[in-house]
């Protein structure tokens, strides 16, 4: 232990870990009941995961939060294009809130 301290290494167990999830593009790796140790070497933190029940699952698809636009932006786009407020709102949603792009969508 003393030798590790001289090298600038510190080892601590992370308490009460019930699950570790490693997320990748193609799968989630779930480790139930592991032992997790935090190893710090010269200010660099590393986590070691040992033991536990390992399973792999497909990542869950999250639905994006509904997008909202500012009412002032809707009015501006409607005025600039001569379109209805609803058409302006839809164009802003399609353009991701970009005013210039929404105006071009409605004029083009």
Residue-range domain boundaries for the chain: 2-57, 71-107
* 71-107 shares the fold of 2-57: no
In a 13 Å sphere around the CA of 108, the CA atoms on its Cβ side amount to 7
Of the listed ranges 20-24, 64-68, 96-100, the least confidently predicted one is: 64-68
Q: What is the mean pLDDT of residues 76-96?
A: 90
Rounded Cα gap, residues 106 and 108, in angstroms: 6
What average pLDDT score do residues 50-58 get? 89
Least-confidence region, from 4-8, 39-43, 56-60: 4-8
Q: Provide the whole-model pTM.
A: 0.49
Q: Is 1.10.8 the CATH classification of the domain at 71-107? A: yes
Q: Give the integer Cα–Cα distance in Å for 88 and 78.
A: 5
Give the pLDDT band (50/70/90) at residue 51: confident
* CA dist., res. 5 & res. 48, Å (int): 18
CATH class of 2-57: mainly beta
Mean pLDDT over 10-34 rounds to 91
């Amino acid at each position: 232990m003393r030798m590790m301290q001289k090298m600038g290494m510190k080892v601590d167990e992370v308490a009460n870990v019930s699950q570790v999830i490693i997320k990748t593009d193609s799968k989630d790796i779930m480790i139930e009941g592991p032992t997790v140790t935090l190893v710090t070497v010269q200010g660099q933190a590393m986590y070691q995961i040992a033991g536990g029940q390992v399973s792999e699952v497909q990542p869950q698809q999250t639905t994006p939060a509904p997008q909202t636009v500012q009412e002032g932006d809707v009015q501006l786009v409607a005025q600039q294009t001569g379109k209805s407020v609803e058409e302006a709102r839809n164009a802003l949603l399609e353009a991701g809130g970009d005013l210039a792009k929404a105006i071009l969508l409605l004029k083009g």
